[in-house]
Chains A and B, each alone.
Chain A
Amino acid sequence: MDTPVRNDRFRAGFWTVLCALFTLAFLVIAVLRFTKGLGAVTNLSDRFPWGLWIGFDLLCGVGLAAGAFTVTACVHLFNLKAYEPIVRPTILTGFLGYVFVIVALLLDLGQPWNIWHAIIYWNHHSVMFEVAWCVMLYTTVLSIEFSPVVLERFGFHKVAHMIHKFITPLVIVGVCLSTLHQSSLGSVYLIVPSKLHPIWYTPMLPLLFFTSAVGAGLGMVVIESYLSGRAFGRHLEMDLLAPLGRVMVAVLSIYGLMRIQTIAHNGAFRDIIGLTYEGKMFILEFAIGVLAPVILLAIDKVRNNPTGLVTGAFLAVMGFVVNRLNVSVTGMERSAGIHYIPSAMEITVSIALVGIGMAIFALACRYLPIFPDAKGAKRSRRPASPSPDLVPAEEGR
């Protein structure tokens, strides 16, 4: 029998009420959007057709779910068994991330009821076509990877076991799909050489998007372990997470160097030194997303300290968000000739989606065997002979 993690500190407090309010607002806006059109709720226009819902919900939602494929690859392909305890929460985060993206897309698409057209009308010259397929397939892979957790909860251990048999090919497919569409979100912008500002436009966009997603995805793993640790009174698994911080230093450094190199190649340093609008936004992005986390996490003392580690990870994630918004909004503004500022309703929808996602995550942690040991205080590695109650849990990878 699996014991769902209990959270005794749960109260219908401030956050629950806030989340409920945002959900309500979300529903109202959704109704408005589908009766009055996109123009009524967003600040989008013919000059600025893609806004916050693409820049934040889609680009960041997918990117921050990158922890799932990184961690599953570590455990199942690189055989780093120590990371097993965090596989389930990261898969769940990944899955919720994609659901979040799909819901956001349903609002953003002009005719969401035609979304399935991507299945029957093929245009393999379109990056968006590839992204659509990867998101569909990868969401399926994530739900299969996650299904044992739900199956176990309801006692279908046989089925869970069967899924476990296919875990290696499943993880390989998942990693391939992730690699593809994480980078493809960068390729989306390859088509606008004359529109995207030279600080961000480069043929390297796919590689840059992939690398930064790995960095930020790992940051998310650290943050979510921290948050769930707090919520469920578990210790932060520093011996597991600190090495992730070290990997982040490596990934972000490589990413940072590539960025500098492409900007130099484009001759766009002028804008940065000249502190133009774009230059300032780049400095913000680079300082909080690359420089600060690399410096912080490179210091052993900071990295091995829970607060230091979480701060570094948080900065990397924030920098990642600013980067995606810079590519999708800041970098496009000059050619569009206008400033786009999302409407209050667009912002509300994005916040509501994040809130709902976090609420579902918290609920799932309470009622499903997400964390291997309920108390979690002493995480043991249980090498050769797992305790009986953990056998099904082992299969959930």
Chain B
Amino acid sequence: MTVGLLYDSTRCVGCHACSQACKEQNKLPGEVQDHTTAYTWTVVKEHEGAFVRQMCMHCLEPSCASVCPVGALHKTKEGPVVYDAKKCMGCRYCMLACPFEVPKYQWDRAVPVVGKCIMCYDRVKEGKATACAEACPTQATVFGERKELIMDARERMRANPSGYQDAIYGIKEVGGTGVLMLSGVPFASLGLKTGLPEEAPPMRTWQVLSKIPDFVAIWAASLYAIHWITKRRDDVAKAEGGE
């Protein structure tokens, strides 16, 4: 079972209730900013009258978790991608790697940690919806099982074909995401990243990393062989030279 969120831009009224609820739920200091930061994990942006939420997409194969050297970020079996500040050493590779530029950093702190939406993992484990979904007055954000959310989204598109773009954002982007989005205008004009690869980026590094053990074995053996040959040639030359 993988849970996720469905965000329907056409239902969003831009009230920022989700951003506010997120602050309260996760005890994030300060006011809601106009862009995501380490202290504001989700924002609602307006693009020519259409709204779009920005937050962690909870990728099915998250780049952030795959690159984290200490496993401070990890994909839970339920679906949320969570963060363990105690493990993190602050390399910020997750920030570089995330195709959606989600993880943010506390640049102003002497002991900084990464900040990003964790899909209210504590609530999810208890079987509750996320704080943002619960706070949403128009059900523009709904929480549920990813499969059902997809069916729900298809249903909405079928009921109102002219009102929606003919695609669900997050079905195939970077191998699929836990957060799905519907929109009435082209995704690009909402500022969403388009043209992302369909293959999950972690596959690309894994293709290389997984070959390392074989490579090392062969390489070490060849190096030893070369050493043996050159040394023997030297010894033979010495013996023949009558030294």
Contact = CB atoms under 8 A, between A and B. Distances in A.
Interface of A: 34-40, 44-47, 49-50, 73, 76-79, 108-112, 114-115, 117-118, 121-132, 168, 172-173, 175-176, 179-180, 187-188, 190-195, 203, 206, 332, 384
- Pick from B38, B93, B104, B202 the residue with the most CB of A within 10 Å: B93
Closest A-B pairs by Cβ, 5 of them: A110-B90, A39-B107, A79-B230, A114-B89, A49-B95
B209 A124 contact: yes
Interface residues of B, number: 60
Contacts of B69: 118, 123, 126, 128-129, 131-132
A118 B88 CA distance: 10
B88 A49 contact: no
A162 B138 CA distance: 76
Interface string B167-204: 00000001000000000000000000101110001101
A115 B37 CA distance: 24
A125 B71 CA distance: 9
Contact of A78 (B202, B224, B230): B230
A247 to B, nearest CB: 16
A34 B111 CA distance: 8
A76 B227 contact: yes
B201 A79 contact: no
Contacts of B148: none
Given A49-B92, A77-B230, A110-B112, A125 B66 contact: yes
State the majority secondary structure of interface residues on A. helix
25 contacts: A39-B108, A46-B38, A46-B95, A77-B223, A77-B230, A79-B234, A110-B88, A110-B113, A111-B88, A111-B89, A114-B70, A114-B89, A115-B89, A117-B70, A121-B70, A121-B72, A127-B67, A127-B205, A127-B209, A132-B69, A173-B220, A176-B219, A179-B219, A187-B209, A194-B99
B105 A49 contact: yes
A36 B110 contact: yes
A118 B233 contact: no
A39 B91 CA distance: 14
Contacts of A180: 212, 215-216
A206 B89 contact: no
A203 to B, nearest CB: 7
Contacts of A122: 71
B63 interface: yes
A127 B202 CA distance: 10
A175 B216 CA distance: 10
Contacts of B195: 194
B109 A109 contact: no
B230 A128 contact: no
B93 A128 contact: yes
B151 interface: no
A191 B87 contact: no
Nearest to A384: B243
Given A118-B69, A124-B209, A125-B206, 20 more contacts: A36-B108, A37-B109, A46-B37, A47-B101, A50-B96, A108-B91, A110-B92, A110-B111, A112-B90, A114-B89, A114-B90, A122-B71, A123-B71, A127-B205, A127-B209, A128-B68, A180-B216, A191-B201, A192-B99, A192-B201
